[in-house]
Amino acid sequence: MLFIYSCLFMNARISHKTNNSVSLLRKMATPSSRSCAGIIFLLSLQLITIAGQPHHSCEPIEANDKDRIEFAQNLEFLEAEFFVNGALGIGLDAFAPEFAKGGPPPIGAKKANLDPVIRKIIEEFGYQEIGHLRAIVTTVGGIPRPLLDISSENFAELFDKAVGYSLDPPFDPYADTTKFLLASYAIPYVGLVGYVGTIPYLANFTSRGLVASLLGVESGQDAVLRALLNEIANEKVVPYDLTVADFTNMISELRNNLARCGIKDEGLIVPLELGAENRTTYNILSADPNSLSYARTPPEILRIVYGGGDEDNPGGFFPEGANGNIARSYLPEHH
């Protein structure tokens, strides 16, 4: 960890070797903020295999179409509440309370201090998520809204885990536009890769059509967020001595480590070896070596959104666990 801090805070020349004496990092004479972010991300990828545990399966699960789509609805609830509340200070219950099916309102939701342009974008995202909930409820029936924690305190804990120490002052997603965009970076992409992982296992045409359409909009949201953050990638996130690119790489590193199934998440800046066709360190979209989208299974998703790397231990954004047959099947009372 010392050499990571050296890179972040002193822009020192660094190198590191694995136990097999294979160099992971190339020495860089004058690492910029972007190259430093890339170095950290490359290191994180080398550690993912170590972080994984054999009993955390990465294999596809068996489930019917209804259960798969209702599992994804948990993420749609999370995005809807975060975006609508962040933009307007009111949530799903102000627009379509029937979609919540009696589920509790979220913890800590509030209006963010956003600039006018970003506020309109986030407001639109929120309305889109309400539409997604309608589509799911109409098609498969839907689940009750789970208890969600979108409080400043929960995001502060998430970002502390990502950077590896306690930020001072604590990270507050609602404080300003940059921090809200970074907090948003932490959410839609998880649903996106979940949809990519779901489509191949859906049995009927209606299900595939619905999820493909949901995926299209989720992908667009993620691309917009990444593009907005890329414009300020080298800027420091006040009052921290970390750039926007640093934060995106650290969030992606954390999600890879929590999911325990390898590299399926990349920040805005990557080493050349991970860039598109190995020709660029810019990474406006996260994709595999063939520039295809990564995919995740439901257990991987739960390990991430619960914040602890275990699908059977709720926490994070879902303090009482996600809803639906798939998510509830992992909880202790079902075993």
The residue ranking higher by pLDDT, 334 or 299, is 299
Q: For residue range 260-309, what is the model confidence (pLDDT) as tens digits?
A: 999 999 999 999 988 999 999 999 999 999 999 999 999 999 999 999 99
Q: Are 314 and 328 in contact (CB under 8 A)?
A: no
CA geometry: angle 41, 318, 208, nearest 5 deg: 80
pLDDT tens digits, one per residue of 212-225: 999 999 999 999 99
pLDDT digits (tens, 9 = 90+) for 63-77: 999 999 999 999 999
pLDDT at position 333, please? 76
pLDDT attached to residue 56 = 81
Determine whether 17 is exposed, middle or buried from the number of CB atoms within 10 Å of its CB (0-12, 13-18, 19+): exposed
Task: Say if residues 303 and 311 touch (Cβ distance below 8 Å).
Answer: yes
The predicted-structure confidence for 94-125, as pLDDT tens digits, reads as follows 999 999 999 999 999 999 999 999 999 999 99
Largest CA distance in the chain: 59
pLDDT, tens only, 6-32? 444 334 333 333 333 222 322 223 334
pLDDT band at 36 (very low <50, low <70, confident <90, very high): low
Q: Under 8 Å CB-to-CB from 238, ≥6 apart: which residues?
A: 178
106, two tokens: 């979220």
* pLDDT at position 288: 94
pLDDT digits (tens, 9 = 90+) for 41-95: 555 444 443 343 445 899 999 999 999 999 999 999 999 999 999 999 999 999 9
Report the C-alpha gap between 146 and 291 in whole angstroms.
34
The pLDDT value recorded for residue 312 is 96
What does the pLDDT read at residue 220? Answer: 97
Alpha-carbon distance of 268 to 226, in angstroms, equals: 7
Model pTM score: 0.84
